[in-house]
Amino acid sequence: MNGIGSAAAALVLSKITYVSVNDDTVSVDLEDGRTISIPIGWYPRLAYGTPTERGNFQISGAGYGIHWPDLDEDVGIGGLLLGKRSTESLASFEQWLRRRNQLGSQTPEQ
């Protein structure tokens, strides 16, 4: 056989040890020393959240996820490592935004 044999790369998951969220970025430190940073715009609910709402999160899923209860948002480490954006449909996000606006929540200052 000529050429290079293909090798399947395995995704190695490491637990989350620290999360930092600002107006532009979500940064996640992992127990193996890696830090992953993604644009906050990849997750529209986070982008529309207030700094207080974005700061209220829990490391969940035995260390493999992040949950924002005020924004009803969950992000898993697997998706972060693969560079996946939110898969929420536009219709679902718009419905969430309408409910949020009806409840009188504030959107972040631009």
Burial class (CB in 10 A: 0-12, 13-18, 19+), 26: buried
Statement: residue 74 has pLDDT above 60:
yes
Contact 15, 63 (CB under 8 A): yes
Banded model confidence at residue 110, pLDDT cuts 50, 70, 90: very low
1 pLDDT exceeds 60? no
- pTM for the whole structure: 0.80
Determine the pLDDT at residue 31.
96
Residue 54 tokens read as: 């974005």
Q: Where are the domains of the chain?
A: 16-102
Architecture of domain 16-102: 2-Layer Sandwich (3.30)
Section 46-65 average pLDDT: 95
